[in-house]
Structure formats: C-alpha cells, structure tokens
Amino acid sequence: MYKTKVRTLIISYLKSNSDRRFTAREIYDSIKDQAGSLNQTTIYRNMDRLCEEGELVRYKEPNRNAWYYQYSDEHKHCNRHMHAQCSTCGKIFHLEKPFVDEFTDRIRTMYGLDVSPSDTIIIGQCEDCGQMEAGEDPCGDEDKNTT
C-alpha cells in the first residue's frame, strides 16, 4: 500500500469526521486546497483502494445517484454487519451482531427472504435530529433564561 499525500489527506479528513459519510465530490471539495494539483479521478482511485483495504466503507443509498464513503475506524469489517443511517444528518450506526442475527432470522422466517446484512442500511432519524426537529435541546440543557 503506497502512501501518497492525497491518500493521507483523505484518511485524515474521514477520521476527523468518522461518524459521518461523504461523497467523493464532498471529499474532493474539502481537501483540494491542501492537496495542490488534484483531480477527481485521483480521489475515486484512492477511495476504491481504501475500500478494498478495509479503511473505508462505501454505501449506495436508495434514490440517490452517488456513493457515500465513511472511515471504518474500529469497524474494519463493516461488510460483515448491518448499518443504520440518520436521514437528516447522515450519521452512521453500526448495528451489533445479536441484533442483526435476530433481525435477519425474523425476516427469513416471516417472509422467506434472506437478507444480506452488508448490503442493508436501515434509514431513520437519530435521536439528536428528532429532538432538534421537535425544538428540544439534544444535550438536555434546559433554557437558562435569567430574565
């Protein structure tokens, strides 16, 4: 694995935003000023290699014509479990094996469908975004108005 400046910038950017996912274009826009001479083909080539090496996870969302990438972090084998994603902020949740096993067993029993966990993303709204939408403070702080 050959380490280039672009590869290092990509990994650094995604590591610092490890709970989010990005398109190759978003990554390009974020690192292009630091990378000097850079084109999108270089980004895609690096992203493909990093996915093959298990450094990144690639997602294709329904009804969207773009791939999304996320740093694997401690989840080096993301292709072995299922994910959930917030439809508002894009945060990725790694679903644990016991949940995934129970979920896939129930789908198989009830519907005769074998689910591929690595190809399945459950889309919903995370608790923080739900609270913000409802006008609540996701940190639980009460309004500290002293008037």
Q: Which residues are annotated as a binding site?
A: 86, 89, 126, 129
Question: Which residues are paired to 27 by β-bridges?
Answer: none
Distance between CA atoms of residues 60 and 70, nearest Å = 12
**Six-digit token string for 137:** 């403070």
Amino acid of residue 116: S
Give the torsion through C-alpha atoms of 82, 49, 19, 68, to 10 deg.
-70
Alpha carbon distance 123, 137 (integer Å)? 23
Q: Which residues are annotated as a binding site for Zn(2+)?
A: 86, 89, 126, 129
As a whole number of angstroms, the distance between CA 116 and CA 82 comes to 8
